[in-house]
Amino acid sequence: MEPEITAIFGPVPPGYVIDATVGGGGHSRALLEARPDLQVVGLDQDAEALAATAERLAGFGDRVTLRRARFDQLRQVVDELGYANVTGVLFDLGVSSPQLDHADRGFSYRAAGPLDMRMDQRQQRTAADIVNTAEVGELARILREHGDERFAGRIARAIVANRPIETTTELADVVRDAIPAPARRTGGHPAKRTFQALRIEVNDELGVLGVALDHAIDVLEPGGRIAVLAYHSGEDRIVKQRLQDAAAGGTAPPPGVPIRAGEEGTQPRLRLLKRGAWKPTADEVARNPRAESARLRAAEKLAAPPVSGPNRPSAA
Q: Is 200 helix (H, G, I), strand (E, B) or coil?
A: helix
Choosing from 203, 218, 237, the residue where a domain stops is 203
CATH of the domain at 28: 3.40.50.150
Q: What percent of the chain has pLDDT over 90?
A: 75
- Within a domain: residue 308? no
Choosing from 203, 230, 257, the residue where a domain stops is 203
Q: How many domains does the chain have?
A: 2
Instruction: Give 223-281 pLDDT, tens digit per residue.
Output: 999 999 999 889 999 999 999 999 998 545 455 545 443 344 478 999 999 999 999 99
Residues 233 and 276 in one domain: yes
Residues 127 and 179 in one domain: yes
In this structure, the dihedral spanned by the alpha carbons of residues 123, 127, 132 and 138, taken in order and rounded to 10 degrees, is: 100
Question: What contacts 67, CB < 8 A, 6 or more positions away?
Answer: 41, 42, 43, 77
- Within a domain: residue 314? no
- Within a domain: residue 310? no
What is the pTM (predicted TM-score) of this model? 0.87
- Within a domain: residue 182? yes
- Within a domain: residue 313? no
Residues 59 and 118 in one domain: no
CATH of the domain at 191: 1.10.150.170
Residues 152 and 193 in one domain: yes
Residue range(s) defining the domain that contains residue 170: 104-203
pLDDT band at 307 (very low <50, low <70, confident <90, very high): low
- Rounded to an integer, what distance in angstroms lies between the CA atom of residue 243 and that of residue 213? 8
